[in-house]
Each structure stands twice: as structure tokens, then as C-alpha cells.
Amino acid sequence: MAEEFLLMKNISKRFAGVQALDSVDFSINKGEIHCLVGENGSGKSTLIKIISGVEQPDDGSEIYIEGERIESFQSIDTIRKGVEVIYQDLSLFPNMTVVENIAISQIIERGSRLFNWSDVRHISQEAMARIKIRLPLDEKVGNLSVADQQLVAICRTLTSDVRLLIMDEPTSSLTRKEVESLFSVIKDLQKSGIATLFVSHKLNEVFQIAERVTVLRDGKKIGTFNREELDNEKLTMLMTGKKVEYSQFSAPPTRGDPLLEVRNLSKERNFKDISFKLYPGEILGITGLLGSGRTELALALFGMNNPDFGEIYINRKKVLINSVQDAIKLGIGYLPENRLVQGLVMEQSIGKNIVVTVLDRLRGTLNLIDKKQVENSSNKGVSDLEIRIPSIDSPVSTLSGGNQQRVVLAKWIATQPKILILDGPTIGIDVAAKRAIHEIIRELANSGIGIVIISDEVPEVVPNCSRILLMRKGRIIGEFKAEDTSEEELQNLVNAG
């Protein structure tokens, strides 16, 4: 039997009346690659925070590192025992060089007052050598790609004697190739006896990298499984506690004129020769890897990334979309990839977020905004999309990811769009909430809106779209009818790029 590095027994944590973790037992072996999965609110992040000493567990919890009981759970103690966390934001300093970013925690740990640059270079070169990578030493980290930034963050943990590396959603903004090279780095680390705890919601990645998988649900441990015991369906079931089944969406057969037609749309270094048609009531999927030009294309259709040439027709009429205002006037709605930054004003109320696109229509006497109309409009959005909210005046930031995404949808539905472009509509949303969002999208399509879903998750695109376009390196390289395409087949084509 493998030797345990970390052993946690009976871990519980209550926050203001909420049981975030309920007597969880958990262990990680030396040099093991372990995945932690669970939906939002399942207790994943609380567990990580307890391992790393950021949060203190309740009485009765026991933590052992290499058989030795840890009495005080301070960050500094766990770091000294070799536990390092790489948070999703990577905790880097974009304004500083690669060497400084790698060496800074070691320099602070040593407590020297003088900043010895040759030491700093030495420390970081050593760390880079351990995972056999070379990064430009004096480049500012802000100028590196996200993948390289991640390597910088990994190197930083290697400057101390790391035994367990915890990575929180490390792959969310990496391309397929970059994920592959990250995984090979993790496997390299494993060879030198470093264990990795990998938190992810992308199930196919979990299967690719993990040796064991621990599933949490509602603060309780459902179980720890060997990879061989699981498959996609079973893991989803374990995470959600229910069987999630998808029926195939099919568009209405009567088509008529296309709602939107794009001819030979091109933009240098973004996309090339893009032509497609979108019919009313249809859900068109556009899939491809990060960097295939899919988001750039979506932005072009919404007036935020003007193409160099090519034509766009709406209802057979040639149109120019040079700004977001143009797009909205033409009845186009756009749900951005990053809803936190681009889709919502997080600190503003739910009601205000919903009506922000239609303020023009809510004017009363003297052209001032009519409060009554605002209320009606936002309440309608909330009830139509069944958004679960504490109150219409609470800030959007208090909602879960799924409900936030509903608010963005409600905002666009309020404009009564003819065309909706949804970029990554379910990124970072729980499996069950995903399904609910998909239901809403289908209903919208049934009401005659033409919908474009842009997503790199093939399991999302295939069942929910009627047609799928595959993009690679800025071009559309194939069109598929969803009924005739298996997810596996399409996934292979996507990854082939």
C-alpha cells in the first residue's frame, strides 16, 4: 500500500450556520495525482483552504502530515511542511520579471533585507531546471501567455521543498496543447515524489490525469475512487446525486429565409473566410479550441471586433455592424464568455442589471426613467427565467454562477432579440444548473429566436444544437448535423487541431 502524505480525519467546518464540510475523511498518498471534484458549494474550496491553513477546521478534526499530527493550522505551518497552493488567479505580479516572480516567496521566507539579484536568478533557474522549462528570465510576467504564467506559478512553489501541490482549476484558460504540456509537467513532478491535488470541473481532464478521484457533494464526501472505476456518466451522477439525461434538440423543419447570413467574413489574425447561415428557431453550435477564432468571430457579429471584409445579412438585408449599438438595434444579443467582467455589474442590484439594456424603453414623463416600469420589467425577467434571488435589490455578486448567468440571459431577453449569441453559456456552472440553462436556451429557440452557441465543450454542443460548425485556426473546417454526429467523433476532430 502506498504511503500517505496527508491524512485528514473527521474534518468539519461551519460558516454562520452553514455546514460547509461535514466529517470528511480525506487522504493523499506521496507522489499521487489526486483529483477533487464536486459542484459549486460542495465544499471543495473549503477543503483546500483547510489543507493550506487559510481556514481553521472545527474541533474534532484531525490532520496528519506524514503521520505527524498538525496541531496549529496556520498557513505558514503547512507551507513549512511542503504544502503549496496555486490559486486560480495564480497570485503573480504582472509588473515584475519572471525571476522575481519565481523567487519572491523564497526571498521573503529567508527574511533577508537586501535583494540579491544573482541569488534571485539562481533560485529561479534552479526551479525551472527541475521541470525542464525555459522562460525568458527578464520578461515581465504580464507579457507572458497564461500557460507560461502558470509555469511561473509552479516554479515558485518549487523554490521551497514542496511535497504537495494543490492546483485550483488550473486549466480553465489553457488551450488543449497547453493543457497537455501542463499535464506532462505534473507527471514530471510526480516522478520526483511531489503529489498533486487537482481541482477541476472538466471531467475529461479528470479522467486523463487522475489516479484517484474524490467526490464531494453538499459538504459530504461521496467517496474516493480509482480512475478505472469511473466514467463520465457515473461521475456526473456522483457529483449531482441525480441522473442527468439529455434529449437531442432538433430545429423545426420549416426554414424559410435565413435570419442571419455571413459571407466571407475575414479579419487579419482573427478569422478567415467565414460563411454560414442561421435560421429562425435554430440553435447553431460553433466549436473549436481556445484560440481557434471562435470568440473573435462572435465579437465581430456583435460590433466589438470589426472585420476587414466580408458581408453580414439580416433578414436578407445587408447590414453593417460597427458598434454594439448597431448590433442591439438589429436585434442581436450577446452573452459574453466572461460574465463576471463583461456581462454583469457585480455590485449592482439584480433588477438594475436586468434592465440596463432597455433603459431607453422605460422612460416615463419628462423622459426620466419610470421606476414602476423598471420594476415590472425586472420582475418579469426574474419570473420568466425562474431566477432564484433573495431580493430584486440584492447585488448580483450574491448569486450562484447559474443564477448569474440567468440574469445575463434575462438582460438580453428584455431587448426582445431576434438573434442571441451565447459564448460559453455554461462555463463554471454546475452540472444541474447547466441543464436548466440549456432548457431555457431551447425554449428561446422554440419561440423563434435564432441562437448561436459558442463552446469548446463538445458534450454541451452536440445535444443542444441542431447544426455544428467546427473552427480551427480561424477557419470553419466542417459542418455537422448533430443527429448524425457522435460526441466522441467530434471531440477527436476538435482536439486534432
Partner 1 sequence: MSETSVMKRFLRYHEFYVLIVIIILAIIITSVNKQFFTLENFFDLLKSYSFLGILAVGVLIVLISGGIDISFTAMTSVAEYVMAIYIINLKGNILIAFLIAILVGLALGAFNATLIHFLRIPTIITTIATLNIYYGLLSFFSGGKWIYSLPNWFRDFSVIEVIKLVNKEGIRYGLSIVTIIWIFVLLLAFCILRYTTLGRSIYAMGGNRISAQRVGLNILRLQFFVYCFMGFLSGIAAVVHALLVMNVAPNAIVGKELDVIAAVVLGGANLAGGAGSLLGTILGVTLVALMSNGITLMRVSSLWYNVFIGLIIIVSVCMSAHQLKIKQSQRAVIDIE
- Cβ proximity to partner 1, 395 vs 497, nearer residue: 497
Residue 474 touching partner 1 (CB under 8 A): yes
C-alpha cell at 330: 438589429
293 touches partner 1 (CB under 8 A): yes
Say if CB 35 and CB 212 are below 8 A apart: yes
Q: Which of 5, 26, 73, 271 binds partner 1 (CB under 8 A)?
A: 271
Judged by CB under 8 A, does residue 56 bind partner 1?
Answer: no
CB of 76 to partner 1, least distance (A): 8
114 is a contact residue toward partner 1 (CB under 8 A): yes
**How far, CA to CA in Å, does 229 sit from each of 171, 210, 211, 213, 235?**
24, 12, 11, 10, 10
- Neighbour-count burial for 40-79, b at 16+ CB within 10 Å, e otherwise: ebbbbbbbbbbbbbebebeeebebebeeeebeebeeeebb
Cell numbers representing residue 11 in the block: 474534518
291 binds partner 1 (CB under 8 A): yes
Which of residues 292, 455, 464, 485 is near partner 1 by CB under 8 A?
Answer: 292
Q: Choose which of 56, 112, 323, 376 interacts with partner 1 (CB under 8 A).
A: 112
> Which residue's CB is nearer to partner 1, number 94 or number 223?
94
Among positions 202, 227, 263, 475, the unique one binding partner 1 when judged by CB under 8 A: 475
Q: Are 52 and 75 in contact (CB under 8 A)?
A: yes
* By the rule CB under 8 A, 258 interacts with partner 1: no
Q: Which 8-state DSSP code applies to residue 282?
A: -
According to CB under 8 A, which residues from 73 to 102 bind partner 1? 76, 87, 89-96, 100
138: left (phi over 0), alpha (psi -120 to 50) or beta: alpha
Closer residue to partner 1 in complex, CB, 463/497: 497
Instruction: Give the binding-site size for partner 1 (rule: CB under 8 A).
Output: 34
The region of 288-296, 323-331, 425-433, 479-487 touching partner 1 under the rule CB under 8 A is: 288-296
Instruction: State the minimum distance, in angstroms, from the CB of residue 24 to partner 1.
Output: 24
Q: Shortest Cβ distance from residue 74 to partner 1 (Å)? A: 11
Question: Binding of partner 1 at residue 104 (CB under 8 A)?
Answer: yes
- CA dihedral of 119, 124, 128, 133, whole degrees rounded to 10: -110
Q: Which of 270, 403, 426, 466 binds partner 1 (CB under 8 A)?
A: 270
Q: Do 314 and 488 touch, CB atoms closer than 8 A?
A: no
Let me know how long the chain is. Answer: 497
What distance in Å separates the CA atoms of residue 221 and residue 277, rounded to the nearest whole number? 48
Find all residues with CB under 8 Å of 38, minimum gap 6, and list them: 44, 215, 216, 217, 239
Nearest distance in Å: CB 118, partner 1: 12
CA dihedral 180, 186, 191, 195 (to 10 degrees): -150
Of 35-43, 199-207, 439-447, 473-481, the segment contacting partner 1 by CB under 8 A is 473-481
Residue 15 or 115: the one with the smaller Cβ distance to partner 1 is: 115
Task: Establish if 366 lies at the interface with partner 1 (CB under 8 A).
Answer: no
Residue 139 beta carbon to partner 1: minimum distance, rounded to whole angstroms: 11
What values do phi and psi take at 401, rounded to 5? Answer: -55, -45
Three-state SS at 261: strand
Q: Which is nearer to partner 1, 100 or 456 (CB)?
A: 100
Cα–Cα distance between 403 and 323 in angstroms, integer?
28
Given the rule CB under 8 A, which residues bind partner 1? 76, 87, 89-96, 100, 104-105, 107-109, 112-115, 117, 143, 145, 269-272, 291-293, 296, 473-475
